[in-house]
Structure 1
């Protein structure tokens, strides 16, 4: 007797109609409003984006300041 391969896919675990992967894909396509990311996943992604923004700001502030047009006199808008 052969062992079944362990699958991390949720499609195999969901039993809609026949429980086949094709049926699950079709159900997801027909009901996009019922398919949402888990709260844990969205919280994780939100946290990652916050950290990424903080790192980007830190890089910008620690970077070298350069004068774009040092010899050009400043113009005032009137």
Structure 2
């Protein structure tokens, strides 16, 4: 079963907005920190490799292994449905 994964930085306002957007649309998701701490599951460099963009700003959203996009992409998809 595929799940949504939101890659974020803890103190980022866009990340909080993406989490709120997903939650208010009843979309279950897991948030993964990309910060350079011992508890991080992934680094920003690894995220950049995953999405294939040289400069990746957070948040970034995946559905399983499929790249969905950033906050603007998420908002656009939800308003177009």
Instruction: Please classify the TM superposition score into its range, dividing by the shorter chain length.
Output: under 0.3
TM-score (norm 2): 0.17
Task: Say which structure is richer in helix.
Answer: 1
- Say which structure, 1 or 2, has more relative contact order (CA 8 Å, 6+ apart): 2
Task: Say which structure is richer in strand.
Answer: 2
Larger Rg: 1
TM-score (norm 1): 0.18
